[in-house]
Amino acid sequence: MKKPLNIVILLFSLMLLGACGDSRMHSHGVYMLVDTSGTYAQEANKASKIINYLLATLNPGDSLAVAKVESRSFTEKDIVAKVTFDKRPSQATSQKRAFKDKIQTFTQAVKPSAYTDITGALIQGAEYLNETKSGIKTIVIFSDMQEELGKGTVRDFPIELDGFRIVALNVSKLRTDNADPRLYLNRLAHWEARVRKAGATEWVVVNDLENNLESILVTRGTNG
Amino acid sequence: MSNWSAWLLWPDNVALSVFALGLLAMVFLYAARKPMHGIIHSSCTLAAHGTRIVSRWMLRAAEGMQLRNQAVLLAHGQESEAVRIDREFERVGNLIRKDLQEFPALQRKMLEEATHIEDDYRKCGTVPPPSPEWVAALKSIAQIKSGGDIPRTLLEDINRSIEKIHDKTITEFRRSYEERHKILKGMQPSWRSVEKLIGEMDKKMVTLETNTKQIDHHMHTLEAIRAKDSKAEHALTVSSFVQLAISALVMLIAAGGTFINYKLIALPMSEMVGASDYLTNSLKTSDVAALVIILMEASMGLFLLESLRITQLFPRIASMDDRMRRKLMIASLVFLTILAGIESSLAFMRDMLIADKTALMRDLASVRPAPSDGVLTSIPMIGQMVMGFVLPFALAFVAIPFEGLVHSLRTVIGVGLVQGMRGLGVLLRIVCLLFKRSATILELVYDIIIVVPLMVERWALAWRSNASVAPSVAPDDIALAKSRRAA
């Protein structure tokens, strides 16, 4: 009589122990930057599809934020929508619906910006994701990766991206890149070197949005 | 290569150096022959003794284990047979109490029927026709010697009377037979009733006889077990193997059921304990919680069957007084029903969550929802709910094969261990023999290496004794052989 009781108590203790465990260590945190500068603003619909994919893939307990990249992007004002999904799947589904509506409103009224402050947006994203204390932190940059800084904007300093995954999405070729492809390749190499120097664990470029979207997120357990 | 060259006496001439080194080694080995033989012999003897001791210990331990296994097996068999005999006696008791209790009433009824039949039979007895009184009158008239027509008239009158009486008697006789036939006809139900009663009695007696035969068979088995008969032991061992195979098969099926059950409640459990909590890197708390619910259901089922005395894994429950046992049974049943209800509602929630997620996916993909048939879509939901309610009760019966598995596994593991230890013991015995023989082989191999100095020694000895009595064996060998014999 005592033995089964002990087993039941042990299992309950395990359950409670699990409930008290650090859930954040297994959660994903995704910060998506959407470039709204110049002609790239027209790509907002594509960005919307990527966000929908992220909403469909992320699980309860994960965090997602979408921010636009503007002339000076190191500000919370550029965050279009942010959410940490509830632990309960039903609540998380409702939150995803609300998030989708916000993004839809945003994509319908995108205003092109004069400059592109990718570095500032990266720092802002890193700050947000560090606050969420997610186990796997991913910054997705939906941009041509051509940084253009306005007068008085200082970004030529080392940045901190320890433990982050950086995913560059839809890195389109500019007119000048077509004339000299080295410009495009050098641009990507420059960003890779910069983020790796900043401490990023992974640098991924995804241009095939039809078939390679699963590269954006890593499966649980493969990242430590 | 440089190391090699350091060993060479004449680095320019490798062959000569190797030959010289070989000669030196041979001389050294020849000088060390006696102690080396001693070392080889002692080491092999030590190893042989060691393995022999371990082998003996293994065989003795196997013997002890076999005795222990036998005792456990026989005790378990005895217990099982005693339970079977108890149940047979209970059945016989029930039969006697329920059916043969009515035996006096039945007997009385049969006696009544018999009396009734006897009375009827008596009534059926043949009534003899009345004696012919007119015969005496006829004789008197016949003795009249004269009288003219008087006797004739008289005889005619008598004839008429006789015919009249005859007709009357015949009618009376027929009526009497008719009545007797009626009585005999009336006896038919009584006979049938008696026949039926006898048939029933016969059936009961046959059942009783079958039960007593079974008791007899069980008693024989029990006697064989008590007498520690090898046939009975073998039968019990084989029975354990069969029991293990059957129990394992049923447990495998139950494991399939458990998996389905787990799949049914794992998702909705995340709604209760959270979907993002992890126990380990890949083990979700919700999955563990679902497993705990299933294990609790199995435990409740186990207690229920224990309190019903179907299984006897816990002697404490079996020895409880009936009132307490009934309370435990009710408590287990209530808990099991509650858990089944929870599982059913979780199955309902699972369907809702999946439907919600599907709708979200459609929204995200901007796909118009497909037209749904209300009845068709609700069938899986109802099926899940029913399964959620039924599976815990089905899972409760796992306690029966589990008990069989526990009991038979002990015997099977015991037999396996005994056989394993015996095999190991025999193997060690062979190793012991190998060690013993290897001492001689190694000594001979050693002598082969130093064969040249040995030959020189023999020649020298032969020369010393002037080839008169050449000793075939070296003095060292004789001394060594003596020491071995002493050992």
For B130-180, the pLDDT digits (tens) are: 556 666 766 776 676 666 677 778 778 878 888 888 888 888 888 888 887
B267 touches chain A (CB under 8 A): yes
Element (H, E) at B146: none
- Residues of B within 8 A of A90 (CB-CB) are 271, 352-353, 356
User: Pseudo-torsion of CA A45, A51, A52, A53, nearest 10°?
Assistant: 120
Nearest-CB residue to A61 (from B276, B289, B296): B276
Q: Look at A191-200, B135-144, B312-321, B460-469 and tell me which has the smallest mean pLDDT.
A: B135-144
State how beta strands A79-84 and A63-69 pair.
Answer: antiparallel
Confidence of residue B338 (pLDDT cuts 50, 70, 90): very high
Residue to mutate among B277, B302, B361, with most A CBs inside 10 A, is B277
Question: Which residue of chain A is at minimal alpha-carbon distance from B314?
Answer: A1
- C-alpha distances (whole Å) from B93 to each of B81, B100, B201, B216, B308 are 18, 10, 16, 15, 21
- Residues of B within 8 A of A18 (CB-CB) are 273, 277-279, 285, 288-289
Q: Say if CB B341 and CB B389 are below 8 A apart.
A: yes
The more confidently predicted of residues B127 and A215 is: A215
Question: Mean pLDDT, to the nearest integer, of B61-70?
Answer: 89
B347 touches chain A (CB under 8 A): no
- Residues of A within 8 A of B276 (CB-CB) are 23, 26-27, 59-62, 87
- Residues of B within 8 A of A222 (CB-CB) are none
Give the start-end residues of each E strand in chain A.
28-35, 63-69, 79-84, 136-142, 164-169, 202-206
**Shortest Cα distance, chain A CAs vs residue B276, angstroms:** 5
Question: Mean pLDDT, to the nearest integer, of B1-6?
Answer: 65
Q: Do A21 and B357 touch (CB under 8 A)?
A: no
Sheet holding A202-206, edge to edge: A79-84, A63-69, A28-35, A136-142, A164-169, A202-206
How many Å apart are CA B384 and CA B389, to the nearest integer?
Answer: 9
Q: Do A221 and B292 touch (CB under 8 A)?
A: no
Cβ neighbour number for residue A110 with a 10 Å cutoff:
18
Region A24-215: CATH code: 3.40.50.410
- C-alpha distances (whole Å) from B117 to each of A188, B68, B125, B182, B197 are 120, 69, 13, 13, 15
- Look at residue B130 in the predicted model and tell me its pLDDT: 56
DSSP 8-state code for residue B11: T
**Shortest Cα distance, chain A CAs vs residue B365, angstroms:** 7
Characterize B93-114 residue by residue with b for buried, 16 or more Cβ atoms within 10 angstroms of its Cβ, and e for exposed. eeeeeebeeeeeebeeeeeebe
The per-residue pLDDT string of chain A (224 residues; one tens digit each, 9 = 90 and over) reads 455 555 555 555 555 554 445 556 788 999 999 988 877 777 888 889 999 999 999 989 999 999 998 888 888 888 999 999 998 999 999 999 999 999 989 888 888 888 889 999 999 999 999 999 888 999 999 988 888 888 888 888 888 999 999 999 988 888 888 888 899 999 999 999 999 999 999 999 998 888 888 888 876 554 43
Residue B188 one-letter amino acid: Q
How many CA atoms are closer than 13 Å to the CA of B260, on its beta-carbon side? 18
Q: Which two tokens stand for residue B193?
A: 């009733």
B360 touches chain A (CB under 8 A): yes
Q: Do B278 and A8 touch (CB under 8 A)?
A: no
Residue B6 CB contacts under 8 Å (≥ 6 apart), including other chains: none
How many Å apart are CA A61 and CA A132, to the nearest integer?
Answer: 10
Whole-structure pTM value: 0.64
The more confidently predicted of residues B283 and B338 is: B338
Confidence of residue B125 (pLDDT cuts 50, 70, 90): low
User: Pseudo-torsion of CA A96, A97, A99, A100, nearest 10°?
Assistant: 110
**Where along chain B do its domains lie?**
9-90+420-486, 99-226, 230-397
| CA-derived radius of gyration, chain B | 52
- Look at residue A222 in the predicted model and tell me its pLDDT: 47
- Residues of A within 8 A of B275 (CB-CB) are 59-61, 87-89, 92
- Look at residue A223 in the predicted model and tell me its pLDDT: 44
Q: Which two tokens stand for residue A29?
A: 């945190």
Strand partners, A63: A29, A84
How many Å apart are CA A18 and CA A6, to the nearest integer?
Answer: 18
Residue A52 CB contacts under 8 Å (≥ 6 apart), including other chains: A100, A103, B364, B365
Q: Do B361 and A26 touch (CB under 8 A)?
A: no
Nearest in space to B72 (alpha carbons), one of B421, B389, B447, B415: B415
- Look at residue B481 in the predicted model and tell me its pLDDT: 59
- Residues of B within 8 A of A23 (CB-CB) are 274, 276-278
Helices marked H in A20-88: 44-57
How many Å apart are CA A63 and CA A49, to the nearest integer?
Answer: 18
pLDDT in tens, B379-422: 888 888 999 999 999 988 999 999 889 888 888 999 899 999 99
Q: Do A15 and B285 touch (CB under 8 A)?
A: yes
- C-alpha distances (whole Å) from B29 to each of A112, B23, B449 are 97, 10, 8
- Look at residue B472 in the predicted model and tell me its pLDDT: 52
Q: Say if CB B339 and CB B298 are below 8 A apart.
A: no
Is the pLDDT at B192 greater than 60, yes or no? yes
Residue to mutate among B265, B271, B272, B278, with most A CBs inside 10 A, is B278
B467-475, long-range: CB < 8 A, 24+ apart: none
- Residues of B within 8 A of A17 (CB-CB) are 279
Q: Do B363 and A97 touch (CB under 8 A)?
A: yes
**Residue with token string 């359950």:** A15
Residue to mutate among A88, A94, A133, with most B CBs inside 10 A, is A88
Q: Which two tokens stand for residue B326?
A: 């009934």
How many Å apart are CA A119 and CA A141, to the nearest integer?
Answer: 11
B 305-344 → A contacts, CB under 8 A: 314, 316-317
| CA-derived radius of gyration, chain A | 20
Helices marked H in B32-102: 33-98
Q: Say if CB A25 and CB A135 are below 8 A apart.
A: yes
Nearest in space to A54 (alpha carbons), one of A22, A20, A99, A13: A99
**Shortest Cα distance, chain A CAs vs residue B267, angstroms:** 9
Q: Say if CB B337 and CB B296 are below 8 A apart.
A: no
**Residue with token string 């389905």:** B260
Question: Which residue of chain B is at minimal alpha-carbon distance from A3?
Answer: B314
- Residues of B within 8 A of A93 (CB-CB) are 356-357, 360
Phi first, then psi: give them for residue B284, nearest 5 degrees: -80, 145
